[in-house]
Amino acid sequence: MELKIFVTTFMFIFGTIFGSFFNVVGWRLPKGLSLVKPGSFCPKCKHKLKWYELIPLFSFLIQGGKCRKCKAPIPKFYFIIELTTGILFALSYWIFGFSFECALSILISSFFVIVVVSDSNYLIIPDEVTIFFSIAIILIRLIMNGPLDAFWHLLYGIIAFFIMYGLMLLGNFIFKKESLGGGDIKLMFFVGCCLGIGSSLFTIFLSSFIALPLSLLLYAKNKDSVIPYGPFLLIATLIIVIFQLDLSIILGLSI
């Protein structure tokens, strides 16, 4: 038990470090900026941050949520993303230990965090991110479950992509406007690679159910509000993985 607590704590710290990096990816990649140069800096005074100003969670707390030099407020969003990533990494290990399911959960969590940053701020899911994580999940399936499993889930990803594309065409026809973004359709390819067809269909239903209350709330405040759908798809995917829900089993499907 002591070892499990130690490793879980390590995974939390590990997650916060990656969360800090995912913040950079989500903010910079949609704008076509380098992830390496320039280094992190205060957006107001352009002060280049020292290493001790970049310690996940602690730097924010020690500095009182303000730039050390100009005292401008640091967006709480950064802190929340680091904390969320740490919790998701730790939870993945605590539930699954070192296993394929743990790797799957960490990949989905990482993709989710980046999409939250990029989709919430720019309504963009960078293709590079979708491609990277889709390749990563296929490689993990190849290494841990063999080439047949990797092949079938690649096929499931393609089928899930076209299902989502069909839903977009139907939505565009019904609402007479764009109903889904291209990034959401490509994201469904990743979901299919992760879960298969049955659970991917469940993901579409579950994500819509989760997004509905927020959509109604924002619509009541502003009828022109645009709700990024990508984060909800990945939240639903995470829920299905963590709670091991499987629509294929529920419906008696073989895929």
Please report, in tens digits, the pLDDT of each residue of the chain (255 residues total).
888 999 999 999 999 999 999 999 999 999 888 888 877 877 778 778 887 888 899 999 998 888 888 888 888 999 999 999 999 999 999 999 989 899 999 999 999 999 999 988 898 999 999 999 999 999 999 998 999 999 999 999 999 999 999 988 888 888 777 767 788 899 999 999 999 888 888 898 899 889 888 777 776 777 666 778 889 999 999 999 988 766 544 444 444
Tokens representing 114 are 């980046």
Residues 84 and 183 in one domain: no
Helix/strand/coil for 2: helix
- The boundaries of the domain holding residue 55 are 1-98
Residues 138 and 235 in one domain: yes
Q: Given 98, 113, 143, which residue is the final one in a domain?
A: 98
d(CA 102, CA 98): 6
Tokens representing 146 are 């063999």
Residues 118 and 92 in one domain: no
The one-letter amino acid code at 85 reads T
Give every CB contact of residue 46 below 8 A, 6+ residues apart in sequence: none
The one-letter amino acid code at 67 reads C
Residues 68 and 105 in one domain: no
Residue with the two structure tokens 């989760």: 210
Residues 92 and 107 in one domain: no
The interaxial angle of helices 127-145 and 182-195, nearest 10 deg, is 10
Q: Given 60, 79, 98, which residue is the final one in a domain?
A: 98
- C-alpha separations of 215 from 121, 170, 175, 180 in Å: 17, 20, 16, 14
Characterize 63-102 residue by residue with b for buried, 16 or more Cβ atoms within 10 angstroms of its Cβ, and e for exposed: eeeebbeeeeebeeebbebbbbbbbbbbbbbeebeeeebb
Q: How many structural domains comprise the chain?
A: 2
The confidence score (pLDDT) of residue 249 equals: 46
